[in-house]
């Protein structure tokens, strides 16, 4: 490998109590072998005030521990208040910003910046256009199959841009103006009482046949399964992917990070880590279907991959 | 200025029905994965699009071609060809979502009118301005996540023509940012142009009940005489942990924003769009006719007439959707 | 109504009688609705059971390279099934009503391969099908098919008791009318479709 694979940590997508949130990052700073940490409330602007005061300390702690901090912009930006928040983020200018909507992409033009997984980058033409405006890394959406990851990474490499792929955690599947957590509780978004804070890994959603299916996280709908591309790490590295993103959960993320670091460094077999994670994540099965061009909910084992 | 009425057509017959019923413009797509209604048996061959443009132009109406999926990495040619052919066949505009494809169209066909698809999910003035300035986009179809107040601000700030959905199926999720379908089936609106594809749908009788399934998942169970719906994933019945089962994301309702015409006018909206390229020509004809009459009456006296579209409405229920804040 | 009677007749006539007629019908429709039949020919080979629930028989439509229509038992094996009252099925075929709206109200039901049914529905809805006009225009083919149908039907009706013969009478009357039209030049295709004249 020409360059060392980077292990990154996406923003906490859930509404954790601020103390737990701060403690989580302190532990990540001290114990997890992470290279880049994306920080910020990206799902719901109503939650953002809870974390505002804690952010500077967390940035300092992570930076002191040698982690690069990137500030993530919100996914859905519609109101004037939300637009101002993005503007402030871009204009603060001290830290790199990850754009998660096209408005942020617009405002970051000409500055080096990251493009997050919530901006649609499906092909090399779009990637090239974003690179021409200052994107230095592109985190690919979770529904991207291996063939697309390959084409995109080839072009990115040519342009000196890094691609990133999420390798662990529930997959964000949709965003809405409507809050489903509030809806489940019979509340309106404006008077939501922050009920999303009750479900630290998301609220499970089952079919009428009692089959676990999705997870609700406020405005966001996620997979019930936890994405796990541990067994695909070697292939991703071969394709030239440079960054590997973990999405935070309440499971022991230090252990998760150490496991992935070991696989990235070739010290451990990916399949072995996948087996460990299947035991560690007790509330849902693992899935990797998107990468194998199958239903995202599926887990394609190594045997099926060989014969596919 | 009067609202422009933009109507769907999945087939040449539907296009003629829409034009005859009073559409100002009809939008349609090619018969492949380049458009977001890539359903079996639907859409236009090149020859049919040529005929469609002639039919519409002879009656002083317009044809917009939706090329609004995201081109597949390593295989851009079908999307480039779709843009080239739409331009060659005389389309009045192409409706695009992908940044790379917009860049291609703007450079290759500088005189071709570009509309931004709802699939691009440009939900704020900064995003819309980006498309205006970078590619010369003249119109934006807004995602169904905005309130009328949001729309008003955006229209004033960007100066771009704004088109909004007023009738038909309603995505509760931000369009173009939803992988629910591909999570259950492997096929997605963004990639293959299909949401909850028929190839993965099964209806199964279970006693007196009717079960609708998508991939490996039960999307709904209908009682003996209960109105049924197509198992579009987000319109299914599910149970959140610890709560009763129900329409968690959205009821099987149709958007109908007819009563909001005065507010949409004040918000500076330029064009009103009817959803439903997958619907039959009988549906198209009746909805377009009804909207045409309502719009004409509204332009005459500023009042919204009472009209009846119950017969064609999904689940026989209507909502004004995200345009009203209470929807959230 | 007339179609219902014809269906009851078809139930009593063997495949040897109905098959040539249905072949002609399909061929005529194909020549008048090229688009729909091209779409059908492009589908993978499969059979759709079209079951008018208020009638004694059903139809089996085979799609794929060589589309074929046959009278079939109501439980004939098929890849997909669409069931509903005959009048609604015919309205659907002719595009007079919206299939989705019918389905929402449970008037029609769908089984098996949904993509097949949706594809077929979309293909047919893309046409301006008018069964009476379409089949009246099929002068040439019917010149061969109708007399044979009549010969066979006559033989069969002779074997049926009076009530059943009565039931068949309207069909015979209709065929007579068709034969009279055969003697006159076929009507020109409807000209209300300038978009398709290219």
Q: What CATH number has the domain bearing residue C57?
A: 3.30.1050.10
Residue C184 has what pLDDT? 39
Least confident of A293-297, B249-253, C8-12: C8-12
Contact between A178 and B322 using a beta-carbon 8 Å cutoff: yes
The angle that helices C139-159 and C15-32 make with each other, rounded to 10 degrees, is: 160
Is position C7 within any domain? yes
Is position C118 within any domain? yes
Find the Cα–Cα–Cα–Cα dihedral B139, A142, A101, B320, rounded to 10°: 60
Q: Are the CB atoms for C96 and C102 separated by under 8 Å?
A: no
Distances, alpha carbon B304 to alpha carbons A40, B255, B259, C23, in Å: 45, 16, 6, 52
User: Has residue B76 got a pLDDT over 50?
Assistant: yes
C106 and C151 co-located in one domain: no
Chain-wide mean pLDDT for chain C? 68
Residue C197 has what pLDDT? 29
Residues of chain B neighbouring C121 (CB-CB closer than 8 A)? 41, 280
Most confident of B102-106, B253-257, C167-171: B102-106
B residues 50-69 closer than 8 Å to C (CB): 50-52, 54-55, 58
**Minimum distance, in Å, between the CA of residue B121 and any CA atom of chain A:** 8
Is position C188 within any domain? no
Q: Are the CB atoms for B6 and B66 separated by under 8 Å?
A: no
Contact between B55 and C195 using a beta-carbon 8 Å cutoff: yes
Element (H, E) at B199: none
3-state helix, strand, coil in chain A (%, to 5): 40, 20, 40
**Minimum distance, in Å, between the CA of residue B301 and any CA atom of chain A:** 33
Picking from A244, A266, A267, the residue whose alpha carbon sits closest to that of residue A257 is A244
Is position C191 within any domain? no
Is position C153 within any domain? yes
Chain-wide mean pLDDT for chain B? 92
Residues contacting residue A198 through CB under 8 Å, at least 6 positions apart:
none
The domain of C111 spans 40-128
Q: Are the CB atoms for C145 and C20 separated by under 8 Å?
A: yes
Least confident of A266-270, B172-176, C80-84, C138-142: C138-142
C46 and C121 co-located in one domain: yes
Give mean pLDDT, residues A24-37.
98
Q: Which of B126, B176, B182 comes nearest A143 by C-beta?
A: B182
Residue C157 has what pLDDT? 35
Interior CA angle at C62 toward C60 and C67, to 5°?
A: 130
Q: Please, which pLDDT band fits residue A308 given cuts at 50, 70 and 90?
A: very low
B residues 207-246 closer than 8 Å to C (CB): 210, 222, 225-230
Give mean pLDDT, residues B26-42.
90
C77 and C115 co-located in one domain: yes
Residue C132 has what pLDDT? 63
Return d(Cα B5, Cα A243) in angstroms, integer.
47
Give mean pLDDT, residues A68-78.
97
More confident position, B255 or A162: A162
Is position C193 within any domain? no
Domain architecture of chain A: domains with CATH: 6-170+224-307 (3.20.20.70)
C46 and C25 co-located in one domain: no
Please write the tens of the pLDDT for every residue from C139-166.
444 444 444 444 444 343 333 333 333 3
Please write the tens of the pLDDT for every residue from A121-136.
999 999 999 999 999 9
Residue C17 has what pLDDT? 64
Pairs of residues, one from chain B and one from chain C, whose beta carbons lie less than 8 Å apart:
116
Residue B190 has what pLDDT? 94
Please write the tens of the pLDDT for every residue from C105-122.
678 888 899 889 888 888
Most confident of B218-232, B282-296, B309-323, C124-138: B282-296
C96 and C81 co-located in one domain: yes
Most confident of A235-249, B197-211, B239-253, C119-133: A235-249
**Minimum distance, in Å, between the CA of residue C153 and any CA atom of chain B:** 37
Please write the tens of the pLDDT for every residue from B82-141.
999 999 999 999 999 999 999 999 999 999 999 999 999 999 999 999 999 999 999 999
Is position C192 within any domain? no
User: Has residue C174 got a pLDDT over 80?
Assistant: no
Residue B240 has what pLDDT? 95
More confident position, A163 or C34: A163
Contact between A213 and B179 using a beta-carbon 8 Å cutoff: no
C9 and C80 co-located in one domain: no
Q: What percent of chain C has pLDDT over 90?
A: 16
Domain count for chain C: 2
Q: How many helices (H) and strands (E) does chain A have?
A: 12, 12
Give mean pLDDT, residues A60-77.
98
Please write the tens of the pLDDT for every residue from A242-266.
999 999 999 999 999 999 999 999 9
Domain architecture of chain B: domains with CATH: 4-170+253-327 (3.20.20.70), 180-235 (no CATH)
User: Has residue B320 got a pLDDT over 80?
Assistant: no
C18 and C59 co-located in one domain: no
C69 and C5 co-located in one domain: no
Is position C190 within any domain? no
Residues contacting residue B313 through CB under 8 Å, at least 6 positions apart:
B253, B254, B256, C101
Element (H, E) at C101: helix C99-104
C175 and C121 co-located in one domain: no
Task: Find the residue in B nearest to C123 (Cα).
Answer: B41
C176 and C140 co-located in one domain: yes
């Amino acid at each position: 490998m020409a360059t060392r694979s980077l292990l990154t940590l996406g923003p906490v997508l859930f509404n954790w109590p601020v103390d737990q949130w701060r403690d989580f990052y302190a532990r990540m700073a001290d114990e997890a072998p992470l290279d880049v940490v994306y920080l910020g409330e990206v799902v719901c602007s109503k939650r953002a005030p809870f974390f505002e005061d804690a952010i500077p300390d967390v940035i300092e702690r992570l930076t002191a521990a040698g982690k690069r901090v990137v500030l993530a912009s919100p996914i859905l930006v519609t109101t004037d208040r939300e637009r101002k928040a993005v503007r402030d983020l871009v204009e603060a200018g001290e830290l790199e910003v990850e754009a998660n909507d096209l408005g942020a992409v617009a405002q970051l033009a000409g500055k080096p910046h990251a493009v997050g997984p919530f901006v649609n980058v499906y092909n090399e033409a779009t990637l090239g256009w974003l690179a021409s405006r200052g994107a230095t890394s592109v985190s690919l959406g979770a529904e991207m199959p291996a063939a697309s990851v390959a084409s995109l990474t080839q072009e990115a490499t040519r342009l000196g841009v890094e691609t990133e792929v999420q390798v662990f955690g529930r997959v964000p599947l949709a965003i809405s103006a409507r809050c489903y957590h509030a809806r489940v509780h019979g509340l309106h978004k404006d008077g939501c009482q922050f009920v999303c804070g009750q479900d630290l890994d998301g609220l499970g959603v089952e079919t009428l046949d009692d089959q676990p299916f999705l997870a609700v996280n406020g405005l966001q709908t996620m997979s019930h399964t936890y994405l796990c591309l541990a067994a695909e790490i070697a292939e991703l590295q071969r394709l030239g992917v440079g960054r590997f993103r973990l999405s935070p959960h309440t499971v022991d993320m230090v252990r998760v990070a150490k496991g992935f670091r070991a696989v990235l460094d070739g010290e451990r077999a990916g399949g072995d880590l996948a087996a460990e994670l299947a035991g560690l994540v007790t509330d849902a099965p693992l899935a990797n279907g998107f990468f194998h061009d199958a239903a995202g909910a599926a887990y394609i084992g190594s045997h099926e991959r060989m014969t596919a | 200025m009067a609202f422009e009425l933009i109507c769907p057509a999945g087939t040449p017959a539907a296009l003629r029905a829409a034009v005859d019923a009073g559409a100002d413009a009809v939008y349609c797509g090619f018969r492949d994965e380049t458009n977001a209604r890539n359903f079996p048996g639907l859409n236009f061959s090149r020859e049919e699009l040529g005929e469609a443009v002639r039919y519409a132009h002879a009656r002083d109406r317009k044809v917009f071609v939706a090329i609004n999926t995201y081109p597949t990495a390593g295989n851009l040619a079908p999307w480039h060809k779709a843009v080239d052919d739409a331009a060659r066949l005389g389309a009045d505009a192409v409706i695009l979502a992908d940044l790379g494809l917009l860049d291609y169209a703007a450079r290759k066909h500088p005189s071709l009118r570009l509309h931004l698809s709802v699939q691009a999910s440009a939900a704020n003035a900064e995003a819309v301005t980006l498309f205006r300035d970078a590619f010369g986009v003249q119109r934006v179809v807004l995602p169904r996540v905005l309130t009328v107040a949001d729309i008003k601000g955006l229209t004033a700030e960007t100066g771009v023509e704004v088109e909004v959905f007023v009738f038909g199926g309603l995505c509760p999720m931000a369009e173009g940012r939803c992988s629910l379908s591909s999570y259950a089936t492997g096929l997605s609106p963004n990639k293959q142009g299909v949401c909850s594809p028929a190839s993965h749908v099964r209806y199964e009788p279970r006693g007196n009940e009717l079960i609708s399934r998508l991939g490996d998942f039960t999307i709904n169970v209908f009682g003996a005489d209960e109105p049924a719906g197509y198992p579009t994933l987000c319109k299914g019945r599910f149970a959140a942990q610890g709560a009763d089962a129900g329409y968690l994301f959205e009821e099987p309702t149709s958007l109908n924003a007819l009563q909001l015409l005065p507010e949409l006018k004040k918000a500076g909206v330029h064009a009103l769009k009817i959803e439903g390229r997958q619907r039959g020509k009988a549906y198209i004809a009746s909805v377009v006719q009804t909207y045409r009459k309502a719009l004409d009456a509204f332009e005459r006296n500023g009042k919204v007439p009472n009209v009846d579209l119950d017969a064609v409405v999904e689940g026989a229920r209507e909502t004004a959707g995200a345009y009203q804040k209470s929807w959230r | 109504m007339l179609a219902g009677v014809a269906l009851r007749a078809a139930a009593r006539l063997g495949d040897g009688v109905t098959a040539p007629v249905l072949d002609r019908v399909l061929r005529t429709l194909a020549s008048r609705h090229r688009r729909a039949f091209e779409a059908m020919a492009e589908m993978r080979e499969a059979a759709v059971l079209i079951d008018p629930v208020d009638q004694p028989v059903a139809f089996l439509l085979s799609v794929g390279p060589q589309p074929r229509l046959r009278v079939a038992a109501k439980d004939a094996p098929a890849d997909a099934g669409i069931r509903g009252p005959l009048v609604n099925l015919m309205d659907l075929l002719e595009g007079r009503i919206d299939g989705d709206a019918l389905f929402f109200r449970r008037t029609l039901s769908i089984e098996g391969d949904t993509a097949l049914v949706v594809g077929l529905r979309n293909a047919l809805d893309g046409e301006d099908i008018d069964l009476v006009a379409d089949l009246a225009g099929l002068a040439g083919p019917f010149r061969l098919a109708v007399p044979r149908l009549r010969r066979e039907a006559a033989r069969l009706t002779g074997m049926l008791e009076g009530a059943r013969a009565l039931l068949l009478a309207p069909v015979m009357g209709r065929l007579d009318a068709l034969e009279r039209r055969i003697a006159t030049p076929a009507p020109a295709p409807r000209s209300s479709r300038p978009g398709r004249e290219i």
